Amino acid sequence: MSIDWITVGAQIVNFLVLVWLLKRFLYRPILDGIDAREAEITARMGEAAQIEAAAQQQKAEYEERIEALQASRAETLEAARQEAEKERNAMLTEARRQMDHEQAERAAQRAEDARAFRAELQKSAAEALLSLTRKALTDLADETLERRIVARAAARLPEVTDRLRGDAKQAVALTRDPLPEEVRAHLRDALDAVAPGAALSFETDPVRSPGLSLTLGSVQVDWTIGDYLEDLEAMLDESTNGVSAGDPRDAG
C-alpha cells in the first residue's frame, strides 16, 4: 500500500476536468431542461388558471342569466297566455260579427227572393185566375168578365147612394185594360140611375190588379181580383205552414 503522488496529482486534475465536463454536458443541460419544463408547466398552469377563472366567470354569468330567465319565464308565459286569450276573444268576436253579418245578408237575400217570388207568383196566379174566370164565365154563362165586373159594381151603387153628397158630379172608372164600349154604356146607365147628370170618365192603369175602381165624389166602389189573390195566398201559406209543421223530417 503506497501512494504515487504523481498519480494523485493526475487524479486530482482528472477529477477537476470531470467536474467541468459533467457540468457542461450533464448538470447544466439537465437542470436547464428541468427549469425550462417547470417554467413551461408554471406558465401553462397560469394559463389554465386564467382560462378556468374565465370559464367560472362565464359559468356564473350564464347561471345568473338562466336564473333570470327562469324567473321571468312564468311572467312571460302568463303575459303570452293573456295575449293569446285576448287575441282569441277578438278573433271569435270578429268571426261572430262576420257570421251574423253574412247571416243577415243571406236572410235579407232570402227575404228579397221570397218577396220577388211571391210577387211573381201572385202575378202569375192573377193571370191564371183571370183567365180561368173569364173562360168559365164564357163557357158557363156566355158572359164576359168585364160585363160581370161592371154588373157587380152597378149592383153595389144603390148601397152607397145615401152616402153621396152634392159633390157627386164627376165619376172616374179606373181599370187595368180599356173597357169595351157596351160595358162602358152599361156602367154609364147604372150611374145615371143613382147620380143623374154625373159625368163619367174612363182611365186605365197597366200596373193595377184586374178589376174596376169607380170613384164617385167621396165614395169609391172597388172590385179587383187582388182581393181573391190575397185570400188564395193566405190559403197557400196556411197549407204550406201546415205541411211544414206536420213533416216529421222537419221536426226531427
Partner 1 sequence: MQLTPDDTILLTFFGIGLNATIVNTWIIMALLTGVSALITRNLRPDVPPNRWRTALEVMVGGIVGQISEVTQRRDPRILYFVGTLFLFIVTANLLTVVPGFDTPTASLSTTAALAISVLVAVPVFGIGSRGLGGYLKTYVQPSVVMLPFNVISEVSRGISLAIRLYGNIMSGAVIAAILLSIAPFFFPVLMDMLGLLTGVIQAYIFAILATVYIATATAAPDAHQDKKDMS
49 near partner 1 (CB under 8 A): no
16 near partner 1 (CB under 8 A): yes
Nearest residue to 18 (alpha-carbon basis) of 26, 28, 29: 26
Q: Nearer to partner 1 by C-beta: 5 or 207?
A: 5
45 near partner 1 (CB under 8 A): no
- Dig out the grid coordinates for 35 from the structure: 427549469
CA–centroid distance for 47 within its chain: 71
Task: Using CB under 8 A, count the residues that bind partner 1.
Answer: 33
42 near partner 1 (CB under 8 A): no
Q: How far is the CB of 44 from partner 1 (least distance, A)?
A: 12
d(Cα 177, Cα 145) in Å, to the nearest integer? 12
The alpha helices in the chain, defined as continuous H runs, are 5-22, 28-141, 145-156, 181-194, 226-246, 248-251
The helix/strand/coil state of 173 is strand
Nearest residue to 223 (alpha-carbon basis) of 143, 157, 165, 164: 157
The helix/strand/coil state of 222 is strand
Per-residue contact string for residues 68-107; x = within reach of partner 1 by CB under 8 A = ----------------------------------------
Count of CB atoms situated within 10 Å of the CB of 20: 10
Looking at 34-42, 159-167, 201-209, 231-239, which segment touches partner 1 (CB under 8 A)?
34-42
The distance in angstroms from the start CA to the end CA of the chain is 142
Looking at 7-15, 138-146, 155-163, 205-213, which segment touches partner 1 (CB under 8 A)?
7-15
Q: Nearer to partner 1 by C-beta: 11 or 239?
A: 11
Looking at 33-41, 50-58, 86-94, 218-226, which segment touches partner 1 (CB under 8 A)?
33-41
21 near partner 1 (CB under 8 A): yes
Q: Nearer to partner 1 by C-beta: 41 or 68?
A: 41
Phi, psi of 149 (to 5 degrees): -65, -45
Question: From the list 33, 158, 178, 242, which residue makes contact with partner 1 (rule: CB under 8 A)?
Answer: 33
Residue matched to cell numbers 180599356: 178
Q: Nearer to partner 1 by C-beta: 6 or 140?
A: 6
- Give the binding site for partner 1 (CB under 8 A): 1-12, 14-19, 21-23, 25-27, 29-34, 36-37, 40
